[in-house]
Structure 1
Amino acid sequence: MPFTRDMAKDNNIRLFVISEKCVMSPRFHSKFSCDGKQQKYHVSYTLSSITPGTVGNTRIFSDTDNRDWYLKSEIKLIAVNWETRRSTKFPKHLYEKMNKFVDKENTPIMTKRQDAIVHPKKAFKTTTKTRYSDLDFNLHVNVPEYYKFCSDAASKASLSGYYRHFISDIVKYPVMLTEATFLGECGPDEHLVVYTWQDDYDFTKLYFAIFLRDVKLFQACFKHDSKMLQDKVISSL
């Protein structure tokens, strides 16, 4: 993020991710499958939104020649005081400086806050334990680890026969969209409970909720393709 170093050094502010949304094109998984070849792509990065206490950025991976997009990703971050670990506001001069870089021509991918996701009694339940190697520079479990926790839970659920339609390991069905909200922090050596379940009407939508004791730390919705990938080497995300 631009200006992150200045905020941390001069104002004791760190940026924490609070929400993220990714949309994949049908060509994304075939383009970036592990076939032993190096792939080139173009990446654009823009500030998508700004408030006195939050900032959003969008990244688009596209073809180097025709600029057809493969993946669009947007994250929203909140300003946090490093000592109190509570939300704060940007210094006025930094807010005004960042506001000049906001892309006002394109609509953000995230147009509204994700609704609260409540796990049903029939949800598939599994547990995991966080590691010290899961931590990021903000000294809490890193963003990608939560996706791994969800992916592992989904694999267990699909292989157990819990999901409808997905009769094999869920990683064989490409992820086409993810939307996630980060609700709390977690440190190392903690036991997390991961719940997953399927949408009642759209079987391609899987929901996730991750708890530390009775506190929900994370919630997400993954939308999968209904057909398996044919590649010999398959990645979950």
Structure 2
Amino acid sequence: MAIQQQFHQVRNFTYGINRYAMADLENAILTLDYFIDKCLKENSSTVVSHAVSQLITTTIVFNFTPQFNALQCGGACDIQVQVPQISDHHLRAMARLTFSNQSEESHKDELCQVIINRRAVDNHERFQVDVDRNQDEILKIKEISRRKDPIHSHSFPVRPQDLNQSGFVPTACYVTYCQHAASHAIYCKHLPGAQNFTHILRLARMQIYVLSLVREENLLVEIWQQNVAERFIIDFRITSKDGIVCVASFDVNTHFKAEKLPFYEIPLQRSETCCNYDVPGFYRLRDRFNNAKLDTMLSYKVALDKMTMDIADIFGVRAAYSDGRFFPVRHEVKIAPGFYSILPDALVKCSIQLASMNRTSVIFDHILKVGSNKLLTISTKLVSVNHGRVANIPDSIMLLEALAPLLNKKSYSKVTCPNQIPIKAFKYSFTIRSNDIDINQHVNNAVYISACFDAASKAVSSGSSAYRTSFGRDFNPACLTELSASYYKQMFEHQLLDTFTWQDEDDDKLHFVMKHENVNIFYMTGNYSVKQISKL
């Protein structure tokens, strides 16, 4: 019996945004997976069998309208989910997304239609090509699998943060891998059909077919290009040391244009120095330990800052300072244990407070609560920058009567990065991917924090002597209670970063130093709870 359900005003779909403020496809797929699970749980007459719950997404086919690419940060979607076929070894689901920021009387713009297949894995962690697949799918897989002479190849390692709770790369990640490889091909001028990365994001159709499971290892992405009428098609083949992992095809349309759809008006309760609103479902996306993702929250905060500062202009800064930009140079994060176990659909309240300001910087406090429980406090120091130089904030802002009590109320001075890296420090290196770049066109601050978690994971799992404390077989960030981070320089796509981590001999803090070509980029210290470690 077919299952069907409609979900209205889904907002977190577009808070996971890419560098051009367009809906991020990896976030979109993970969100759709969540709503398929929700549909199954809420509409099944009996508990979904263990076999069905273990099925893995192996096929994703998106058919996009131009409006999908026009849906920017803050947009809301209605999602209609249908599950016409379900068994212990195969599940077929379809989803239709429409723009929900329109009256019921008007025609709703369709954003995309999606087909998702989930399948059972065999004893060798592979999915059979000819099982439960239609003929077009089989032909596409076999055709790309046999290709020779790619126009571009790019290899990179799987990051620990890429893995899901089962310990393998989820299907959504392959979209990011393909986009990153295509971006690298453009960087190397090996993809003549695309002048810049925006072309890779404007898709008419996307097909992802997964053939086997992958854990932490190196992957090779090979690329081919075909020109068809006004579109060009980019085909991808991803392989590991054990063979083909995934094939994909992006049907790119570089000619369509779409009007910008209106921003969704978030109901704001505001004053001259504070703004409150409900946070959409950030916590539907979990890490491999089933924690709410701290780095995702920090990454999404960029979109929230844009909504509240740039669009709503809650503190009047943007109106008076249209030529300037604010860049974060410090983060102070305090994490309550309950943050990591926030329920996926919990109603979370966010308060953004203007905590302090001086001639060149402002400090905002983001406070997240569930009920009366304060779960997360993020203090961010932003420096005023104009044409690449630190600039003064205009007097029209500084002299506002309501802001007078906040002048120099807090001060976060730049922390000096350690001059010497201890010999025992563990080194972890990674290259900036295309999806690490945010709407400010540089590496999102949360990427550095994610990389620190990855470095800690590698240090712990390798048995390095960099840490004295036993964190078990892997480093679970849910043990962390405080983070203090300083940013020294901006970083950009394809650059290599070296992360050094160790545990301090005196105060037991975890230290993370990030360098590019021996220049300090980022420094963070973390406090942890031994009590929390024992619970993990």
Which TM-score applies when normalising by structure 1?
A: 0.81
**Structure 1 stretches of 5 or more lacking a match?**
232-237
CA contact (8 A) 1:173 1:229 kept: no
| Distance in 1 separating the partners of 2:477 and 2:349 | 26
Change (3 A) 1:192 1:217: same
TM-fit CA distance, 1:100: 2.5
Once the two structures are superposed, the pairs formed by residues 181-220 of structure 1 within 5 Å of their partners are 181-203=486-508, 205-220=509-524
2:334 maps to: 23
1:125 to 427, 442, 448: 427
CA contact (8 A) 2:331 2:378 kept: yes
2:218 maps to: none
Asked whether 1:96 is paired with 2:415, we answer no
2:89 maps to: none
CA contact (8 A) 1:21 1:179 kept: yes
Asked whether 1:47 is paired with 2:354, we answer yes
TM-fit CA distance, 1:73: 1.3
More divergent stretch after superposition (156-165 vs 13-22): 156-165
TM-fit CA distance, 1:20: 0.4
CA contact (8 A) 2:340 2:478 kept: no
TM-fit CA distance, 1:120: 1.6
TM-fit CA distance, 1:135: 1.4
TM-fit CA distance, 1:123: 1.1
Asked whether 1:151 is paired with 2:490, we answer no
Q: Which amino acid aligns with 2:335?
A: M
Query: Aligned with 1:100: secondary structure?
Result: helix
Larger Rg: 2
Over residues 4-39 of structure 1, what are the superposed CA-to-partner deviations in whole Å (9 max), with x where a residue is unaligned?
A: 54356x3x2110000000111233323x2xx5x411
Which TM-score applies when normalising by structure 2?
A: 0.38
| Distance in 1 separating the partners of 2:478 and 2:422 | 24
- Flag the structure with more relative contact order, 1 or 2, with Cα contacts below 8 A and sequence separation at least 6: 1
TM-fit CA distance, 1:86: 1.5
TM-fit CA distance, 1:42: 2.4
Q: Which amino acid aligns with 2:331?
A: E
More divergent stretch after superposition (210-219 vs 167-176): 167-176
TM-fit CA distance, 1:101: 4.1
Change (3 A) 1:80 1:173: same
TM-fit CA distance, 1:150: 0.7
| Distance in 2 separating the partners of 1:6 and 1:136 | 23
Over residues 60-118 of structure 1, what are the superposed CA-to-partner deviations in whole Å (9 max), with x where a residue is unaligned?
A: 11232xx231111100000111x3x1211112113334x724775xx75x665534334
Q: Which amino acid aligns with 1:29?
A: Y
TM-fit CA distance, 1:55: 0.4
CA contact (8 A) 1:161 1:167 kept: no
Q: Which amino acid aligns with 1:21?
A: E
1:74 maps to: 379
| Distance in 2 separating the partners of 1:145 and 1:4 | 27
**Structure 2 stretches of 5 or more lacking a match?**
1-308, 310-314
Q: For the aligned residues, what is the CA RMSD?
A: 2.4
Query: Aligned with 1:228: secondary structure?
Result: helix
2:483 maps to: 178
Q: Which amino acid aligns with 1:129?
A: T
| Distance in 1 separating the partners of 2:412 and 2:433 | 34
Query: Aligned with 2:452: secondary structure?
Result: helix
Change (3 A) 1:7 1:161: farther
Query: Aligned with 2:415: secondary structure?
Result: coil
Identity of aligned residues (%): 26
| Distance in 2 separating the partners of 1:111 and 1:86 | 19
More divergent stretch after superposition (222-231 vs 151-160): 222-231
Over residues 148-188 of structure 1, what are the superposed CA-to-partner deviations in whole Å (9 max), with x where a residue is unaligned?
A: 11111110001111222223211165211100000111111
More divergent stretch after superposition (165-174 vs 145-154): 165-174
CA contact (8 A) 1:48 1:103 kept: no
2:440 maps to: 138
Higher helix share: 2
Q: Which amino acid aligns with 1:96?
A: L
2:117 maps to: none
